[in-house]
Amino acid sequence: MRITGTGHASMRIDTGAGSILCDPWVNPAYFASWFPFPDNSLLDWEALGDVDYLYVSHLHRDHFDAEHLKRFVSKKATVLLPEYPTSQLEDELRDLGFTSFLRTKSDEVHELDGGLKVMIQALISPTDGPIGDSSLWVEYDGVRLLNQNDARPSDLSRFAELGHVHAHMLQFSGAIWYPMVYELPTAAKTAFGKQKRDRQFDRTWRYIDDLKADHVFPIAGPPCFLDDELWQFNDIFGDEGNIFPDQSVFMSEYAKVGGTNGVVLLPGSVSEVTATGDITTTHPTDVDEFFANKKAHLEEMRERKAPVIAAEKASWRHPEIDVLGELKKRIEPLLEESIYLAKGVGGPVRFDLVSYDGDAVESIVVDFPGKQVRAYADEKVRYRFRTQRELIEHLIFIDEGDWVNSLFLSCRFSAARIGQYNEFVYAFFKCLSEERLQYAEGWYDEHEKAVEAEDIHLGDWTVQRRCPHLKADLSRFGIVEGNVLTCQLHGWKFDLPSGKCLTSVGHKIRAEKTGS
C-alpha cells in the first residue's frame, strides 16, 4: 500500500484495487485565516485528483475544500460517504458535480472491487465537527490503515478487532480558537494554552497506545496563519502555551514517551507499507532541515499568499445589509423551536460588531430565554463576542448556517465569558438551519433521557461508566486525582463529591465514595 502525503489531513492511498484521495485541502479556510502547512498548493493536483474513490471525512473547511474538489478531483470518482444524520455532505458534493456515491454503514466493512475493503466510523453528536466527523479504515492485500484524522472516537476497539493496523494517521495539534481569542491576562492565557497543548498530546498517546499500529503518522494539523493580524498564532515564538505544535514537535514529544515509530509526511512524501510492517518513506526534501527553517518558509508563504488574503477581505463588506434585521429573521424562528439548546445556553449572548473604520460598535444580543434577537440593553451577559461587522455581514450574505465552521474557527474575534465553558453556545451557532437544529434538539433529547446504569471503580470512587459529556468510556479515559475526575478524551473535569462539572455547565456525573 502506497501513501502519498498531500498536506494537512489529506493523503492519497494507492492499492492494486484502486486509489483513494482523502480530505484534499489547498485553499485558505475560515475567512482566509487557515492555510495548509507545509504548503501543498504546488503539488501536481491534476494527477493526484485522478482517483477511483474520494473520501471527505466531514464538512470542516480544512477537510472540505469545495473550490479544489470542483476543479481538480475526477468526477468519475466514487464518493465513500459516511453515514451522517443529515444529507448536507452528499448535497454539497453533488453540487460540485459528483454523481457516484457509496453510502456506507457506520462500523460496517464494505468490500469494493478487487478485494479492497473500507469501513467508515461516523460520529454524529452535535459537537462532532459540523454535525458529524468520521474515520476511514482501509485494508488491501493484508495491509491495514486507519485514517483517524481529527475524529475523536470514544475508543478504537472496532478498528482493532478487524486485525492489526499497520499505519495509523491521527491528529495531534490544535484546531480550535481557545484560549487565544479570550480576553485574559497573558500569564493566564499561556497557562491555559499549555494545559490544552499537554492534553492534546495525552489524548494522542492514548489513541496510539490503544491501537498499537506499526507506524504512526501525525496529520490534520497544524494550520498556519499568514495574515499579519493572526501571525502570532504560529508556533515559532517559543511560546509553551501555543496550541499549534507542528510535526517536528510531535516527533520530539513522542520520543519522550518512548515512541519510535513516528513517520512525518510532507506534501509529496511517499510511504510504502507492507503486510509484514516494513515501511519505506521518501521525501521531497530533508524533513529536519525543513522544520528547522520553518519561520523562513512561513515568511515566504506569507508574501506569496498576501494577494489571496487581500482579495478575500475585499469580498466581505456588504453595507447594504441590515444586520440586526436579518439576524432577527434568521435566528428568532430557531430560538422559538429550540428547547434543549436554548435551555443549555441559559442567558443572553452579546455580539459587539466593530465598524469598518473601528470608530463605532453596534451591540446585538441573542436572547435565549426571551427567544429574540435585539439591540443590547446594557444588561449583564455571561457570553460576549467581539468581531468586525463585515464578517457578520458576509455570513448573512452567503446564508451561512454554521458560524463555528466560519467565524469562530477563523479566530478573527475576541471572547469573554463569566463562568465555565458552555458547549450549547457553540452547538446552537453551528445549527442555524431547520434541519440541523431539529437534529441537535432530538440528539440532546435522547441523550438526556438515556440512563447510564453501569458503574465502574476509579480509585476510591464508584462512578458512572460513561462521561456525561459525550459518553466516553471512563474506564479507559477517566483519571482521578484527589476528588477530581478528568475525562482525557475532551479534558472535562468533575468534582466527585458534588458531581458538578468544573469545565462546563449543564453536565453532572453520578459518583460516590466506594463503600460509603
For residue 241, give every residue at least 6 positions away whose Cβ sits within 8 Å of its Cβ, in sequence order, or none.
179, 189, 190, 191, 192, 193, 194, 197
**Exposed/middle/buried for residue 254 (C-beta within 10 Å: 0-12, 13-18, 19+):** buried
135 vs 443, more confident? 135
**Domain termination site, one of 411, 444, 477:** 444
Distance in angstroms (rounded) separating the CA atoms of residues 196 and 199 = 5
**Last residue in a domain, options 422, 444, 466:** 444
**Nearest to 369, CA basis, from 433, 438, 424:** 424
313 lies in some domain: no
- Same-domain pairing of 112 and 196: yes
DSSP 104: P
Is pLDDT above 50 for 451? no
463 and 409 within one domain: no
Q: What mean pLDDT value characterizes the chain? A: 94
- Which residues, other chains included, contact 196 with Cβ-Cβ below 8 Å and sequence gap of 6+? 174, 178, 179, 243, 491
Question: From CA 290, how far away is CA 225, in angstroms rounded?
Answer: 18
- How buried is 452 (Cβ within 10 angstroms: 0-12 exposed, 13-18 middle, 19+ buried)? middle
Predicted pLDDT of residue 470: 62
Question: What tens digit of pLDDT does each residue of 13-47 get?
Answer: 999 999 999 999 999 999 999 999 999 999 999 99
Q: Per residue in 74-87, pLDDT tens?
A: 999 999 999 998 89
DSSP string, 144-195: EEEEEET---S--HHHHTT---SEEEEE-S--S-TTTTB---HHHHHHHHHH
- For residue 44, give the amino acid letter: D
Q: How many Cβ atoms sit within 10 Å of the Cβ of residue 155?
A: 17
For residue 451, count CB atoms less than 10 angstroms from its CB and return exposed for 0-12, middle for 13-18, buried for 19 or more: exposed
- The DSSP result for 202-239, as a single string, is HHHHHHHHHH--SEEEEES--EE--STTTGGGSS-S--
Note the pLDDT tens digit of each residue in 466-476. Answer: 787 766 778 87
User: How far apart are the C-alpha atoms of 106 and 59, rounded to whole Å?
Assistant: 17
**Contact, 406 vs 89, CB < 8 A?**
no
pLDDT-above-70 percentage for the chain: 98
CATH number at residue 350: 3.30.1050.10
210 and 281 in a single domain? The answer is yes
Same-domain check for residues 175 and 258:
yes
Say yes or no: 410 and 458 in one domain.
Answer: no
440 pLDDT higher than 80: yes
Please report, as a single letter, which amino acid is at residue 217. F
Cell numbers linked to 474:
471512563
Same domain, 438 and 456: no
Q: Rg for the chain (alpha carbons), in Å?
A: 23
What's the pLDDT band for 389 if we cut at 50, 70, 90? Answer: very high
User: Rounded to an integer, what distance in angstroms lies between the CA atom of residue 104 and that of residue 161?
Assistant: 19
383: pLDDT strictly greater than 60: yes
Given a cut of 80, is residue 50 above it in pLDDT?
A: yes
Half-sphere exposure of 483 (CA within 13 A, CB side): 10
Does the pLDDT at position 90 exceed 60?
A: yes
Residue 93 has pLDDT above 80, yes or no: yes
Q: Where are the alpha helices (DSSP H) in 264-368?
A: 287-292, 294-314, 323-337, 340-345
Among 444, 462, 479, give the residue marking a domain's end: 444
CB count, 10 Å around CB of 68?
18
Return d(Cα 3, Cα 268) in angstroms, integer: 10
With a cut of 70, say whether residue 516 has pLDDT above it.
no
Do 7 and 74 belong to one domain? yes
| Cβ neighbours around 353 below 10 Å, total | 20
Same domain, 204 and 278: yes
Q: What are phi and psi of 329, to 5 degrees?
A: -65, -35
Map grid coordinates 474506564 to a residue.
475
Cα–Cα nearest to 104, from 95, 112, 113, 94: 112
| pLDDT computed for residue 419 by the predictor | 87
pLDDT per position as a tens digit, 173-193? 999 999 999 999 999 999 999
- pLDDT per position as a tens digit, 203-261: 999 999 999 999 999 999 899 999 999 999 999 999 999 999 999 999 999 999 999 99
Give CA–CA dist 150/173, Å, rounded: 9
Is 236 in the same domain as 347? no
Q: Can you give the residue range of the structural domain that contains 42?
A: 2-307
Mean pLDDT across 412-441: 93
Q: Is the pLDDT of residue 308 over 90?
A: yes
Beta bridge partners of 272: 2, 280
User: Three cell numbers at 471?
Assistant: 459518553
Residue 452: pLDDT band by 50, 70, 90 thresholds?
A: low
Residue 346 in grid coordinates: 441559559
**One domain, residues 190 and 232:** yes
- Please state the rounded mean pLDDT for residues 507-515: 84
The model's pLDDT over 53-63, given as tens digits with 9 standing for 90+, comes to 999 999 999 99
CATH for 117: 3.60.15.10
Same domain, 291 and 364: no
What is the greatest pairwise CA distance in the chain? 67
Residue at grid coordinates 498556519:
224
Q: How many domains does the chain have?
A: 3
> Do residues 290 and 417 both lie within one domain?
no
Q: Strand 478-481 vs strand 110-111: parallel, antiparallel, or unpaired?
A: unpaired
Cell of 257: 514517551
Question: How many C-beta atoms surround the C-beta of residue 388 within 10 A?
Answer: 19
